Amino acid sequence: MNPLSDMHVHTSDSPDADIPARSLVRKGKENNLGGIGFVAHLDLNPEDFCYASFNAAAYDESINRAGSEAGGRLSVMKGLEVGEPHVYEKQVKNLVDYSNYDFITGALHSVEGIGMVLGREVFVDGDPMEIVEEYYAETLRIVEVSDIDILAHMGLFRRGLALAGLRYDFNEMQLWPETIDSILKVLIERKIALELNTSGLRRIEKVTYPIPAILERFRELGGTLVTVGSDTHREPHVFFGLKQGSALLLKTGFREAYAFVDREPQAFGLA
What is the rounded CA–CA span in Å between residue 218 and residue 256?
A: 14
Compare residues 81 and 102 and give the one whose CB is closer to Zn ion: 81
Binding Zn ion by CB under 5 A: which of 76, 107, 132, 161?
Answer: 107
Q: Exposure pattern of 250-270 as b/e (b: 16+ CB <10 Å)?
A: eebebebbbbbeeeebbebeb
Query: Does 108 contact Zn ion by CB under 5 A?
Result: no
Question: Shortest distance, CB of residue 150 to Zn ion, whole angstroms?
Answer: 11
Query: Does 102 contact Zn ion by CB under 5 A?
Result: no
Compare residues 75 and 232 and give the one whose CB is closer to Zn ion: 232
The residue at minimum Cβ distance from Zn ion is 107
Question: Shortest distance, CB of residue 39 to Zn ion, whole angstroms?
Answer: 6
Compare residues 42 and 270 and give the one whose CB is closer to Zn ion: 42
Compare residues 27 and 68 and give the one whose CB is closer to Zn ion: 27
> Where in 66-85 is the site for Zn ion (CB under 5 A)?
81
Are 48 and 7 in contact by the 8 Å Cβ rule? The answer is no
What dihedral angle (degrees, nearest 10) is formed by the CA atoms of 86, 90, 93, 99?
60
Question: Shortest distance, CB of residue 107 to Zn ion, whole angstroms?
Answer: 4
Compare residues 107 and 255 and give the one whose CB is closer to Zn ion: 107
CA proximity to 81, closest of 148, 143, 145 = 148
Compare residues 53 and 224 and give the one whose CB is closer to Zn ion: 53
The helix/strand/coil state of 81 is strand
Question: Shortest distance, CB of residue 72 to Zn ion, whole angstroms?
Answer: 26
Contact map string, positions 212 to 251, toward Zn ion, x by CB under 5 A: -------------------x--------------------
List, in order, residues 6 or more apart from 233 with CB less than 8 Å away.
Answer: 10, 14, 16, 17, 18
What is the rounded CA–CA span in Å between residue 224 and residue 222?
A: 6
The helix/strand/coil state of 132 is helix
Point out which residues bind Zn ion (CB under 5 A): 81, 107, 231
